[in-house]
Amino acid sequence: MTDICSWVDRRRFLQATGAAGLALAGAGSAFAQNARSETLLVVQELGPNSLDMQGVGSNQTVNGLAWNCYDRLMTYGTRTLPDGTPSYDREMLAPELAESWQIASDGMSCTFKLRRDATFHDGRPVTAGDVKWSFDRSVSVGGFPTFQMSAGSLEKRDQFVALDDHTFRVDFIRKDKLLMFNLAVVVPFVINSELARKHATDSDPWALAWLKQNEAGGGAYKVESWKPGSETILTRFDAWKSGPLPKIRRIVARDVPSPGTRRAMLERGDADLSTGFPPKDFDQMIREGKVKVTGVPIPNALWYLALDTAKPPFDNVTLRQAIAWAVPYEEIQAGAFFGRAKPMHGGPGPAEQPVWPQPFPYRTDIDKAKALMAQAGFSGGLDTTLSLDVGTATVGEPTAILIQESLARIGVRVTIDKIPGANWRTTLNKKELPLVLNRFSGWLDYPEYYFYWNLHGNNSIFNISSYKNPAMDRLIDRARFTEDKAEYVKAVTDFITLCMQEVPIVPLNQPIHDVATQKGVGGYQFWFHREPDFRQFTKS
């Protein structure tokens, strides 16, 4: 039965990939071989649930679609990591839709010169008016995209000025070291505003409903077809001018929820790229060597336990410290992550370097945890709920079970609550969960950016601890806006130390992003958004 199912699965996949499938099935024509070499076959756990990453509830995969199908004014340069992996360079900006830019002498604006030959997928020239409309949209739709823009002090529509068709200016409301780098993340992508506005309404001025189902970009790839829950096909936009034309003409990305099926397809040669396997599988694939695995610790990222500091019982800092001493860090590292993560426990504390993430000073010490429970007034224990996203259950569920078992040793009786991925962000935004197992990755690799999202009193969706402390806010803001290096170092080390003391979150580890590819696939480059940049890929 297994062999029959595998054969049927393979047959369907090859049929879905058209000419590429002919090559995999053994067709010998030069046309088929060329088509196969110019097609990247991706199998993924979950494809995009929308074509608009600025829309409400868009999932992680939509970020990759936006990255490949839309342009931004700028992108990041590249560097090589110590293990030889190509990666984006957080310190270097590079041209994309803008061929050049100039910051004003007073440091309070930046003027961009747009490429004159850039067009959208429908052939219409890109203008500064499109950039203006797209930026206005980003700061107006609310939710994640608007908060992301604010992380670089991009907050008001009147900051964005189209001077002529090919000249665009951003006015600064304050000097913010993150502003320019924030222009190169996924959110401020440039939309064909003329096309989008045709589908806008009085109740939907930013065409959210239409753009959820339709792509209106000018990036290196365009959407050929999208079948939610099944398959996404992208084709190269041969008129793309914002960088070297990609070698890969066609991306066929099929949704295959089963990691076992994805792994079998990859190891048989029926797919070129996949990710999202359990750490145990990546560990085995590395040792077996049938495919190539590239793993990069995700900058500015943590798996962590969040405690709701706004309501009892976890508004008690001593109780939060007790929880931190009771977490089974080593068991989680070995039993849930199989070593495919960097531990974030057992550090010296307090913070001495402005580096994030860094290990907290807690380790598993049940006796100390019990003593703090008594000191906090909970010698009889307590009942609570630990919530996790079902979409992260591969590592999340064993981690939650290990935490449940360990906390029981200090009298904390935990019920595990599995929340469907489709409801995860909506549920988090209600700020009603007492304990949450979560992973957050900050696109801009700066400590103050992570803390702005997660622990600032502005209470973003990702501040799931509902942590509000004016002293913390002052330190985060000082780090964001100071131009004095010594003051910056002190502010960062102080807010990390404060977090260690008050424990609104308990860091578990820094995740490693693993990607498995065929050995003949080259050009993989690690990006902060963790999605493949198909523009870089090659196939032998």
Sign of CA dihedral 119, 121, 127, 128: negative
Distance CA 386, CA 334 (A): 21
| Three-state SS at 22 | helix
Q: What is the residue type of 295?
A: G
Cβ neighbours of 380 (radius 10 Å):
8
Which band of pLDDT confidence, cut at 50, 70 and 90, is reported for residue 46?
A: confident
**pLDDT (0 to 100) of residue 30:** 52
Taking a C-beta distance cutoff of 8 angstroms, is the pair 417, 376 a contact? Answer: no
Taking a C-beta distance cutoff of 8 angstroms, is the pair 80, 95 a contact? Answer: no
Sign of CA dihedral 445, 449, 453, 454: positive
Q: Is the pLDDT of residue 431 over 70?
A: yes
Taking a C-beta distance cutoff of 8 angstroms, is the pair 507, 333 a contact? Answer: no
Distance CA 168, CA 161 (A): 6
**What backbone torsions phi and psi does residue 257 show, to the nearest 5 degrees?**
-60, -35
Q: Is the pLDDT of residue 10 over 80?
A: no
The average pLDDT across 415-430 equals: 88
Q: Is the pLDDT of residue 24 over 70?
A: no
Q: Is the pLDDT of residue 217 over 90?
A: yes
Taking a C-beta distance cutoff of 8 angstroms, is the pair 417, 452 a contact? Answer: no
Q: Is the pLDDT of residue 21 over 80?
A: no
- Residue range 288-302, pLDDT digits in tens: 999 999 999 999 999
- Residue range 65-76, pLDDT digits in tens: 999 999 999 999
% of the chain beyond a pLDDT of 90: 86
Q: Is the pLDDT of residue 2 over 80?
A: no
Which of 7-21, 45-59, 217-231 is most confident?
Answer: 217-231
Residue 53 CA, distance from chain mean position: 12
* Least confident interval from 54-63, 240-249, 379-388: 54-63
Which of 10-14, 210-214, 345-349 is most confident?
Answer: 210-214
For 328, the enclosing helix (H) or strand (E) is none
| Three-state SS at 41 | strand
| Three-state SS at 157 | helix
**pLDDT (0 to 100) of residue 32:** 53
**pLDDT (0 to 100) of residue 497:** 98
Q: What is the residue type of 489?
A: V
Q: Tell me the average pLDDT of the chain.
A: 92
Distance CA 104, CA 117 (A): 26
Nearest to 249 by CA among 225, 269, 221: 221
Distance CA 459, CA 464 (A): 8
- Residue range 157-166, pLDDT digits in tens: 999 999 999 9
**What backbone torsions phi and psi does residue 536 show, to the nearest 5 degrees?**
-95, -10
Q: Is the pLDDT of residue 207 over 80?
A: yes
The average pLDDT across 46-58 equals: 92
Long-range Cβ contact pairs of 97-100 (< 8 A, separation 24 or more): 97/71, 97/72, 97/73, 97/126, 97/131, 97/190, 97/218, 97/242, 98/73, 98/74, 98/168
Which band of pLDDT confidence, cut at 50, 70 and 90, is reported for residue 312?
A: very high
Which band of pLDDT confidence, cut at 50, 70 and 90, is reported for residue 391?
A: confident
Q: Is the pLDDT of residue 416 over 50?
A: yes
What tokens were used for 326? 């009771």
- Residue range 496-507, pLDDT digits in tens: 999 999 999 999
Helical residues (DSSP H) of 142-188, grouped into ranges: 143-150, 179-182
- Residue range 128-177, pLDDT digits in tens: 999 999 999 999 999 899 999 999 999 999 999 999 999 999 999 999 99
Taking a C-beta distance cutoff of 8 angstroms, is the pair 44, 276 a contact? Answer: yes
Which band of pLDDT confidence, cut at 50, 70 and 90, is reported for residue 454?
A: very high
* 236: CB partners within 8 A, 6+ apart: 220, 221, 245, 246, 248, 249, 250
Q: Is the pLDDT of residue 510 over 80?
A: yes
What tokens were used for 483? 């131009």
Nearest to 136 by CA among 75, 205, 50, 71: 205
Instruction: Please name every residue paired with 341 in a beta bridge, in sequence order, or none if there are none.
Output: 511
Q: Is the pLDDT of residue 17 over 50?
A: no
Sheet holding 109-114, edge to edge: 98-103, 109-114, 167-171, 160-164
Sign of CA dihedral 492, 497, 498, 500: positive
The residue to which tokens 């049938």 are assigned:
290
Q: Are strands 86-95 and 98-103 parallel, antiparallel or unpaired?
A: unpaired
Q: Is the pLDDT of residue 3 over 80?
A: no
Q: What is the residue type of 371?
A: A
Percent of the chain that is helix, strand, coil (3-state, to 5) = 35, 25, 40
Q: Are strands 505-517 and 341-343 parallel, antiparallel or unpaired?
A: antiparallel
Distance CA 436, CA 302 (A): 13
